[in-house]
Amino acid sequence: MKHSRIVGTGSFVPPRVVHNEEVGGPLGMDSDQIVALTGIRTRHWAEPGQASSDLAVEAGRRACQAAGIAPRSLDAILVSTTSPDSAFPSTACHVQRALGAGPVMAFDLSASCSGFLYGLSMADAMIRSGQIRSVLVIAAEVKSSSLDAMDRETAALFGDGAGAVVVVQEESVRPEAAGILGLRLYADGAGHGLITIPAGGSRKPSGSGTVRGKEHLLRMRGSAVFRAAIRHLEQAIGDLLKEFGLSAADITRMIAHQANARILEQLRRRLGLPREVVYSVIERYGNTSSASLPIALDQAVRDHRLAAGDLVLLGAFGGGLTWATALVRW
């Protein structure tokens, strides 16, 4: 029976480290306040001219190296981003060219912070159907370019980076075989305005008025997002575990979207997970939107926090509203 398996991970963040003092100064906040509210101490920001594709290429190259797979042998490249190099062509086509991959399918997808799991679900479905045998799934974001330095809801939260996985087709009849067990995706457009960049699309095209009004910068209703993230993810994770006949005690490791340390802690408590099960890198990297989950996953692999046979729970929540969960046997 065909199934998909993650065989390599990679990540990349820009060299520039931005400390709380730098982002907190304009907001009238000190580092301890930011840590208390978010759990973040540092984040990485891209330099001028450094685009999402530049970060994606480095993360993708590292994932291919870890998997022992040459980019030329890939069957597809999927890139999740809400900060593409340009409206079109796709960021994925930039990545395909830079990696030296063949003339294979390459496209972008946009599901905000849930984008990596949306992409992983597409990869899993295409592999299970026999359409492809190997795919590079990347999430890459340069959120610093759309931040308002005076906005308390967003200025201290976001960082830049990219994370990637190589997923391949394998065949096994063993129920305990390593691979992706299941992914579940959700959306609720009623919450569309909770996280948004108001202008720059066909509904509100760019103009001098939108620039003066700072409508090309990220806006978020933080408290509402906080509550919705916990509520939706708790329900979705509970449903996924029930579907597979599992309980929280069966989970070896949980790696979720690194939005806010308080969200992760609330989820941990509500799910009844031991503190050591939840892996987080938000203190170092901040919220890198859709890239945060694969960056954390790669760090967990390289820190030897995952072992063969581990049952790994993945979860993400973001604008749209969107949210997603996954179970992976490592």
Give catalytic status of residue 304 as yes or no: no
Give catalytic status of residue 19 as yes or no: no
Q: Which residues pair with 220 in a beta bridge?
A: 195
Where are the alpha helices (H) located in the chain, listed in sequence order?
20-27, 31-38, 52-67, 91-99, 115-129, 208-212, 222-243, 261-271, 282-285, 292-302
Task: Tell me how far apart the 2 most distant CA atoms of the chain are, in Å.
Answer: 61
Active site residue: 20, 64, 257, 260, which one? 257
- CB-based burial, 230-245: b 16+ in 10 Å, e otherwise: bebbbebbeebbeeee
- Tell me the two tokens of residue 328: 């992976």
Contacts of 201 (CB under 8 A, 6+ apart): none
Active site residue: 20, 113, 232, 260, which one? 113
Strands 322-329 and 42-44: unpaired
d(CA 177, CA 7): 13
Give catalytic status of residue 20 as yes or no: no
* Residues annotated as part of the active site: 113, 257, 287
